[in-house]
């Protein structure tokens, strides 16, 4: 599989292309290009992306566009962390989590600890405003590039840092990203402001030393940055320029290689999730279109034949229609009335593939329900049963008042003609359990 790592920052596009096989991963190409405007960037991407057909594209957004918090959990299972992280961060950030996409990096832990410590996880919770993510996808989309993965630029640095041996506690710096590595463990990642007014890298290093309880004495630079060189020298930190070796090759931009190797984080989720068109659905839709076209042609031909052709000619055409029907639907046992059967197949396909054309009619109903729930109401659905034009829902919420609000809002939806509350009761966990029966205006 071909994987393309794109690092896009002000005035610079860095690309690394790797070929990932079952046994090994090889660096296929690596280069860096300069641009002055978004138009030039789009032209570069449009030209280079001709060689990326079928590849998995991983694009970064500069790390300073993200907010982050480091938390510790008594477990390290990724799914459990994903469920617990929003509740842990909700009261510690000055904005609504509904306005951001949230993901996390599992950081390495250092220091002594037994079996219990190994189960703990140091988690870097990372938040990206949805407006920033939308603008980035629109910028790439204008150049015909639709990345499967979006992540912060320092995530690529953290991945490539694992290939670089360090002495003691040291930082690795690329542009305005850095990560702290102690021995083989990457324990912190973040971006810093290049401005002296906000403390720049000096402030970030001091904060890391206090947070990690360590003294940073060495820095490894992955790219030229004379300003950072000078500041680190003033802090008494030894600076060394390093380019990692990957399977015998050295990338032009190591951080973009790290992006291609990173598989732990992805901000393309929720409304921004990558929509990879399923091959089976694509074939089914193509078959639906062909069947529809044939049905339209055959219906018109059938009508014309009845009025203008003699019985013998009609019989010949009817046999041809049956042959076409059998070719289109080879599994069909008979073709007694192929025109009617074509129409029946077409209606069945439309019902199967639903409004979205991908077999997801239930998702249309679920989306309508979700959009009909007031934002201030917290609700957990435990049962979702769709039968024709009837939907049965079972769940729990905080109060009986919330149930009335949900019913009122769902009735306002254009998708439902009736909403009945069949049962309400207080559960043992102080949650109000309820059951709805909803009638759809049109069966899915």
Q: In angstroms, rounded to a whole number, what is the distance separating the alpha carbons of residues 349 and 347?
A: 5
Under 8 Å between Cβ of 244 and 251: yes
Q: What angle do CA 267, 270, 274 make, to 5 degrees?
A: 65
pTM confidence score: 0.59
Helix 279-308 / helix 311-328 crossing angle, nearest 10 deg: 180
Any domain includes 289? yes
The pLDDT value given to residue 353? 52
Under 8 Å between Cβ of 262 and 155: yes
* pLDDT tens digits for range 83-101: 999 998 988 888 889 999 9
Any domain includes 383? yes
The pLDDT value given to residue 111? 56
In this structure, the answer to whether residues 237 and 302 fall within a common structural domain is no
Q: Residue 429 is part of a domain; what is its CATH number? A: 3.30.1360.100
Domain count, the chain: 3
Last residue of a domain, one of 189, 220, 243: 243
The pLDDT value given to residue 219? 92
Q: Residue 178 is part of a domain; what is its CATH number? A: 3.30.420.360
Any domain includes 81? no
**Token match 């009122």: residue?**
408
The pLDDT value given to residue 347? 72
Query: What is the number of alpha carbons within 13 Å of residue 311 lying toward its C-beta?
Result: 0
Last residue of a domain, one of 216, 243, 270: 243
In this structure, the answer to whether residues 370 and 325 fall within a common structural domain is no
In this structure, the answer to whether residues 337 and 365 fall within a common structural domain is no
In this structure, the answer to whether residues 336 and 373 fall within a common structural domain is no
Any domain includes 142? no
In this structure, the answer to whether residues 324 and 381 fall within a common structural domain is no
Last residue of a domain, one of 191, 223, 243: 243
Q: Could you tell me which of 4, 79, 12, 75 has the C-alpha nearest to residue 40?
A: 12
C-alpha dist (Å) from residue 315 to 171, 300, 309, 321, 341 = 83, 16, 10, 10, 18
The pLDDT value given to residue 333? 66
Q: Which domain holds residue 171?
A: 165-243
In this structure, the answer to whether residues 174 and 210 fall within a common structural domain is yes
Q: Residue 97: which residues within 8 A CB-CB, separation 6 or more? A: 86, 89, 90, 127
The pLDDT value given to residue 115? 43
In this structure, the answer to whether residues 390 and 421 fall within a common structural domain is yes
Any domain includes 134? no
In this structure, the answer to whether residues 220 and 188 fall within a common structural domain is yes
Any domain includes 273? no
Question: Which residues in the chain show pLDDT less than 70?
Answer: 110-119, 195-199, 226, 276-291, 300, 304-312, 314, 333, 349-361, 443-444
Q: In angstroms, rounded to a whole number, what is the distance separating the alpha carbons of residues 171 and 161?
A: 9
The pLDDT value given to residue 284? 54
The pLDDT value given to residue 120? 81
The pLDDT value given to residue 427? 83
The pLDDT value given to residue 67? 92
Any domain includes 122? no
* pLDDT tens digits for range 10-24: 899 999 999 998 888
Q: 255: buried, middle or exposed (CB in 10 Å: 19+, 13-18, 0-12)?
A: buried
Any domain includes 53? no
- Write out the two tokens for 214: 């360590």
In this structure, the answer to whether residues 366 and 295 fall within a common structural domain is no
The DSSP letter of residue 276 is: P
């Amino acid at each position: 599989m071909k994987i393309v790592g794109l690092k896009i920052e002000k005035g610079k596009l860095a690309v690394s292309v790797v070929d990932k096989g079952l046994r090994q991963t090889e660096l296929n190409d690596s280069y860096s290009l300069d641009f002055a405007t978004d138009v030039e960037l789009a032209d570069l991407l449009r030209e280079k992306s001709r060689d990326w057909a079928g590849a998995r594209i991983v694009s970064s957004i500069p790390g300073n566009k993200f907010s982050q918090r480091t938390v510790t959990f008594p477990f390290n299972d990724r799914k459990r962390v994903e469920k617990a992280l929003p509740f842990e961060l909700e009261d510690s950030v000055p904005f609504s989590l509904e306005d951001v996409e949230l993901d996390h990096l599992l950081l390495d832990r250092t220091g002594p600890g037994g079996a219990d410590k190994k189960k703990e996880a140091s988690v870097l919770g990372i938040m990206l405003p949805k407006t920033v993510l939308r603008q980035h996808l629109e910028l790439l989309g204008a150049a015909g590039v639709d990345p499967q993965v979006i992540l912060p630029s320092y995530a690529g640095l953290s991945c490539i840092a694992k290939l670089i041996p360090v002495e003691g506690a040291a930082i690795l710096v690329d542009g305005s990203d850095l990560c702290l590595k102690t021995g083989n463990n990457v324990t912190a990642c973040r971006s810093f402001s290049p401005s002296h007014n906000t403390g720049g890298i000096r402030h970030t290093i001091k904060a890391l030393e206090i947070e990690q309880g360590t003294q940073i004495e060495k820095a490894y630079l992955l790219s030229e940055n004379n300003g950072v060189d000078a500041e680190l020298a003033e802090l008494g930190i030894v600076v060394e320029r390093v380019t990692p070796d990957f399977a015998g090759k050295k990338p032009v931009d190591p951080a973009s290689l790290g992006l291609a190797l990173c598989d732990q984080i992805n901000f393309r989720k929720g409304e921004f999730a990558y929509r990879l068109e399923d091959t089976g659905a694509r074939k089914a839709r193509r078959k639906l279109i062909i069947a529809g076209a044939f049905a339209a042609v055959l219906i018109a031909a059938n009508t014309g034949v009845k009025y203008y052709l003699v019985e013998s000619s009609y019989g010949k055409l009817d046999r041809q229609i049956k042959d076409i029907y059998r070719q289109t639907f080879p599994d069909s046992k008979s073709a007694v009335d192929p025109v009617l059967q074509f129409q029946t197949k077409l209606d069945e396909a439309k019902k199967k593939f639903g409004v979205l054309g991908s077999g997801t009619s239930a998702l249309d109903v679920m989306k309508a329900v979700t959009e009909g729930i007031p934002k201030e109401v917290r609700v957990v659905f435990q049962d979702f049963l769709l039968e024709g034009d009837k939907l049965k829902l079972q769940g729990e919420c905080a109060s009986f008042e919330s149930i009335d609000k949900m019913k009122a809002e769902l009735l306002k939806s254009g998708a439902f003609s009736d909403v009945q509350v069949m049962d309400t009761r207080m559960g043992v966990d102080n949650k109000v359990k309820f059951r709805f029966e909803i009638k759809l205006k049109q069966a899915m």
